[in-house]
């Protein structure tokens, strides 16, 4: 029997933290037919609230050092404010959302990241496994899981985990049950040939043209890790990865499919 489709969207803090952008995104997300999951970040709110509470914000290579005080702020702003804003707004658009962290339903197990180059990232979790039975049961009862970027170790500890990583691991995990499309939403229209020209979207990247595009220096170096991660997800069973502008979800809601950059094996 053919697998059902499941679409996973990841939005970052920039969308979540702007009330108008968030409402516009969620209104279209709610209109999408079929099985779906939303994963969200909200890191700027964590930094802002940390500063308000006098907690030092420490980042190394864009990764947050999460000490015990910062973990409390992550619970407050990601699992609390961001997740409940998204869920309540989706309910307002008629989408039966249910907010989750990796601890809820034991959905995403992780372990504390080991020291790397002597750096202790604190309460940061590397994903070990995704509980596809629990997530599938929620979807099958008509619910739309909305993940805040937190995980747990099953021994009582919560962790901060990168939202891109959660989206990718959930996509891979759910690929055993569904034909999964993973959509990374950000502020650009996709992978651009010319970073200054928003119309220069490369519509499709596959194993054949990727090496050539890289050799020609067409792809911005900042995009390469994202695309490499996309190929990793494809290798592990995800059907399609897309990098797109969060504002263009309205096109998907209206049935267009030529949106952003599609990455295929």
Return residues touching its own copies (CB under 8 A).
52-53, 72, 75-81, 83-85, 87-89, 91-93, 96-101, 103-106, 134, 137-138, 141, 143, 150, 152, 154-158
Say which residues have a Cβ less than 8 Å from residue 136's Cβ, sequence separation at least 6.
174, 177
**Bridge partners, residue 64, by sequence:** 59
> Which tokens belong to 100?
């989750």
Task: Tell me the closest approach of the beta carbon of residue 33 to its own copies, in angstroms.
Answer: 19
Q: Is 213:263 a contact under the CB 8 Å cutoff?
A: no
Indicate the angle between helix axes 163-174 and 224-235, nearest 10 degrees: 20
Nearest to 78 by CA among 204, 178, 70: 70
Task: Tell me the closest approach of the beta carbon of residue 100 to its own copies, in angstroms.
Answer: 7
Task: Tell me the closest approach of the beta carbon of residue 119 to its own copies, in angstroms.
Answer: 25
Task: Tell me the closest approach of the beta carbon of residue 210 to its own copies, in angstroms.
Answer: 40
Residue with tokens 């750096």: 119
> Which tokens belong to 112?
């504390």
> Which tokens belong to 161?
């985990």
Task: Tell me the closest approach of the beta carbon of residue 69 to its own copies, in angstroms.
Answer: 12
Task: Tell me the closest approach of the beta carbon of residue 92 to its own copies, in angstroms.
Answer: 3
DSSP string, 153-191: -SSS-EEE--HHHHHHHHHHHHTTTEEEEEEEEESSSSS
The span from the CA of 190 to the CA of 185, in Å, is 9
User: Which residue, 35 or 85, has its beta carbon nearer to its own copies?
Assistant: 85
User: Which residue, 37 or 219, has its beta carbon nearer to its own copies?
Assistant: 37
User: Which residue, 55 or 213, has its beta carbon nearer to its own copies?
Assistant: 55
Task: Tell me the closest approach of the beta carbon of residue 187 to its own copies, in angstroms.
Answer: 24
User: Which residue, 106 or 209, has its beta carbon nearer to its own copies?
Assistant: 106
User: Which residue, 124 or 150, has its beta carbon nearer to its own copies?
Assistant: 150
User: Which residue, 43 or 190, has its beta carbon nearer to its own copies?
Assistant: 43
Residue 29 has φ and ψ, to the nearest 5°, of -55, -40
User: Which residue, 129 or 220, has its beta carbon nearer to its own copies?
Assistant: 129
Q: Is 58:72 a contact under the CB 8 Å cutoff?
A: no
Nearest to 171 by CA among 265, 37, 42: 37
Say which residues have a Cβ less than 8 Å from residue 95's Cβ, sequence separation at least 6.
26, 29, 30, 144
Task: Tell me the closest approach of the beta carbon of residue 70 to its own copies, in angstroms.
Answer: 13
User: Which residue, 138 or 219, has its beta carbon nearer to its own copies?
Assistant: 138
**Bridge partners, residue 98, by sequence:** 145
């Amino acid at each position: 029997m053919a697998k059902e489709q499941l679409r996973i969207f990841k939005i970052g803090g920039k969308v979540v933290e702007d009330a108008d952008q968030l409402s516009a995104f969620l209104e279209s997300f709610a209109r999408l037919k079929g099985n779906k999951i939303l994963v969200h970040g909200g890191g700027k709110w964590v930094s802002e609230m940390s500063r308000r509470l006098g907690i030092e914000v420490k980042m190394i290579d864009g990764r947050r050092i999460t000490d015990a005080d910062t973990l409390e702020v992550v619970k407050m702003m990601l699992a609390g404010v961001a997740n409940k804003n998204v869920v309540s707004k989706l309910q307002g658009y008629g989408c039966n959302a249910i907010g989750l962290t990796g601890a809820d339903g034991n959905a995403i197990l992780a372990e504390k990241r080991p020291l790397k180059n002597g750096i202790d990232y604190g309460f940061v979790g590397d994903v070990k496994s995704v509980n596809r039975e629990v997530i599938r049961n929620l979807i099958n009862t008509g619910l739309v899981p909305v993940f805040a970027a937190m995980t747990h170790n099953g021994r009582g500890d919560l962790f901060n985990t990168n939202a891109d990583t959660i989206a990718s691991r959930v996509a891979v995990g759910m690929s055993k049950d569904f034909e999964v499309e993973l959509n990374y939403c950000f502020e650009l229209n996709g992978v651009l040939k010319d970073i200054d020209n928003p119309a220069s979207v490369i519509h499709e990247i596959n194993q054949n043209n990727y090496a050539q595009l890289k050799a020609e220096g067409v792809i911005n170096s900042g995009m390469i890790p994202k695309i490499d991660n996309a190929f990793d997800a494809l290798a592990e069973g995800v059907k399609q990865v897309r990098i797109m502008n969060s504002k263009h979800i309205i096109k998907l809601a209206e049935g267009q499919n030529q949106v952003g950059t599609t990455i295929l094996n």
